[in-house]
Amino acid sequence: MAESETKAAEEDLTKLRLFNSMTKEKELFRPRVEGKVGMYVCGVTPYDYSHIGHARAYVAFEVLFRYLKFLGYEVEYVRNFTDIDDKIINRANEAGETVESLSGRFINEFLLDMAELQCLSPTHEPRVTEHIEHIIELITKIMENGKAYEMEGDVYFSVDSYPEYLRLSGRKLDHNLPGARVAFDTRKRNPADFALWKSAKEGERFWDSPWGRGRPGWHIECSAMSAHFLGHVFDIHGGGKDLIFPHHENELAQSRAAYPESEINCWMHNGFVNKDGQKMAKAEKNFFTIRDILAQYHPMALRFFLMRTHYRSDVNHSDKALKIASDRVYYIYQTLYDCEEVLSIYREEGISVPVPDGDKKSVDDHHSDFLKHMSDDLKTTDVLDGFMNLLKSINSNLNDLKKLQEKLERQNKKQQQNKKQQQLKKRPEHHVQALIALGSELKNKLSILGLMPQSSLSEALKQLKGKALKRAKLSEDQLQEKIEHRNDARKNKQFDVSDKIRKDLAALGIALMDESTGTVWRPCEPELVTIAEDAAETSTSSQ
């Protein structure tokens, strides 16, 4: 294929298509301003530690943020904090602290969680309390346009004044219910009308406004902050699919009511995290915090687990799925570590031979598949599956190189050392070049997805093993005692004892491997090693 054709084919693969919740179709992404993207994602209400559902949303949109940057876009990414809300007020009262103290504390905890998950910081992270002026201005504009009304210090949006209401969610107005966050107010003209401004109750934090002392309603905040940072027309608005109604529906209505030209090119929504078939949520008290998960699993295992399901689909939380994700991450890092260790031997060699055709094709195919899947509405599931071919190619080259070196060492055992070195330099060159190309491709794509560890590979492997020991409720010393007990049993030909130790450890997620240098271990997902363990028992018993 000619260079111009190759370039054209790659450009076609980078044409991003995203599912638009408004049109219910995948559409070619065309930013409002060429080369620039404005993206707003609804943030957390910081009254407690963030749960895995929050991680689901913010990893999903952070992956989009990363991929847009990879495609060359200048991205202005806004993610807010709802730092004044009924839930925050109630929790602060229960805890005997101020709203500012409670919300500030949990904002900091949220940011620590995001850093653990290697989520890049948004361009802007506004807090509602910093934008009261903009919120009041927007409400005033809505009222001037006859789309809202004031009653005893409260201001409500009139859904009857906006004919396109429910266009995003597709709900029927006669099926509409009052917002879930507040009790039904009988003063409203229509039960579906929602609060833009709420009069202050005794002891609550308030701000002065044209309608008296009070604070913003839930929905108005995002319309005001997105318009402040991105304008009335921008490219992407995201959040969990539970926000389609009422939050995003109301955002759209009030923004259009104030400024009819308001438009969002693409509405995007991620799926839930489910536990036992039910959406995981604080209100249902069936959630796990991010901290709960990270106490048992490496942050990249959680990130991998969340990306293993397409962002629009619901994720089913289970220990088994997290263990499988952890096992995959360990395999990836171990393979890269082995690759780097081998390449460090040849770092000064100055090898100039080309990458073997088969391995070059593997790299080129992987690059093309990565672009194809990511540009097709961020199919991270297929991308992660595609890593397996690269990993197999790397391990194949590592094994072949090891065999070649062993063979050459045997052949040259009686020759002079300098001749031996000359022959070793000549023969493995193609494998070395293949490993350089394959390893670089894997690390590059892992980096785009935020899956390369912040620490060294050796440190990440150590951390993964530490988490595995914690899940198994074993210390390093306790595990070593079991390994030594097994070794003694094997020496004494007590194979039933040694097999049981190995099988028991496998059930705890610890896989033992007997090598020429001794017995080593690695984390594993128990069900993945059942067949291997059975085979090992047969082999051991026949010794």
Asked, for residue 465, whether it belongs to a domain, the answer is no
How many CB atoms neighbour CB 102 within 10 A? Answer: 21
Neighbours of 409 (CB within 10 A): 12
Which of 272, 295, 318 lies at the terminal end of a domain, its last residue?
Answer: 295
Write out the DSSP string of 368-397. Answer: HHHHHHHHBT--HHHHHHHHHHHHHHHHHH
**CA-based nearest residue to 380, from 335, 336, 328, 334:** 328
| Domain stop point among 458, 487, 511 | 458
130 and 69 inside one domain: yes
* b (16+ CB within 10 A) / e for 8-28: eeeeebeebebbbbbeeeeee
Query: What pLDDT sits at residue 471?
Result: 97
In a shared domain, residues 442 and 497: no
Say whether both 446 and 501 belong to one domain: no
Average pLDDT, the chain: 90
Identify whether the C-beta of residue 458 lies closer than 8 Å to the C-beta of residue 340: no
Contact 431, 400 (CB under 8 A): yes
pLDDT score of 187: 83
91 and 26 in a common domain: yes
Report phi then psi at 75, rounded to 5.
-110, 130
**For residue 532, what pLDDT is reported?**
43
Yes or no: say if 159 and 165 are a contact pair by the CB < 8 Å rule.
yes
Q: Measured between alpha carbons, how far is 356 from 437 in angstroms, rounded to an integer?
A: 10
Quick check: is 466 in a domain? no
Residue 138: left if φ>0, alpha if ψ -120 to 50, beta else—which one?
A: alpha
Please classify residue 387 by burial: count the beta carbons closer than 10 Å to its beta carbon, then call 0-12 exposed, 13-18 middle and 19+ buried.
buried
Q: Are residues 523 and 449 in the same domain?
A: no
Whole-number pLDDT of residue 347: 72
Q: Are 82 and 132 in contact (CB under 8 A)?
A: no
Q: What is the CATH number of the domain that holds 85?
A: 3.40.50.620
Domain count, the chain: 3
Give residue 345's pLDDT: 85
The reported pLDDT for the residue numbered 175 is: 53
Question: Does residue 154 sit within a domain?
Answer: no
Residues 282 and 259 grouped into a single domain: yes
Domain with 392 in it? 332-458
Q: Is the pTM of this model over 0.95?
A: no
Task: Indicate whether 510 and 480 sit together in one domain.
Answer: yes
Residues 23, 92 share a domain? yes
Interatomic CA distance for residues 113 and 57, integer angstroms:
13
Residues 269 and 352 in one domain: no
- 453 & 494 share domain: no
Q: What is the pLDDT of residues 54-74, one digit of tens each?
A: 999 999 999 999 999 999 999
Q: Tell me, what's the pLDDT at 6?
A: 60
451 domain-assigned: yes
CA–CA gap between residue 487 and residue 478 (Å, rounded)? 14
| 3-class secondary structure per residue, 9-60 | HHHHHCCCEEEECCCCEEEECCCCECCEEEEEECCCCCCCCCEHHHHHHHHH
For the segment 478-504, what is each residue's pLDDT rounded down to a tens digit?
Answer: 999 999 999 999 999 999 999 999 999
Inside any domain, residue 197: no
Q: Are residues 255 and 394 in the same domain?
A: no
Report if residue 464 sits inside a domain: no
Query: 356-369 burial string, b = 16+ CB within 10 Å, else e?
Result: beebeebbeebeeb
Question: What pLDDT is stored for residue 467 in this prediction?
Answer: 98
Same domain, 36 and 113: yes
Structure tokens at 502: 């190995």
Q: In 47-117, at which residue ranges do the beta strands (DSSP E only) sit? A: 74-79
| 433 in a structural domain | yes
Which residues are CB-neighbours of 417 under 8 A, at least 6 positions away? none
Query: Is 101 within the bounds of a domain?
Result: yes
Residue ranges in the chain whose pLDDT is less than 50: 178-180, 420, 422-426, 528-543
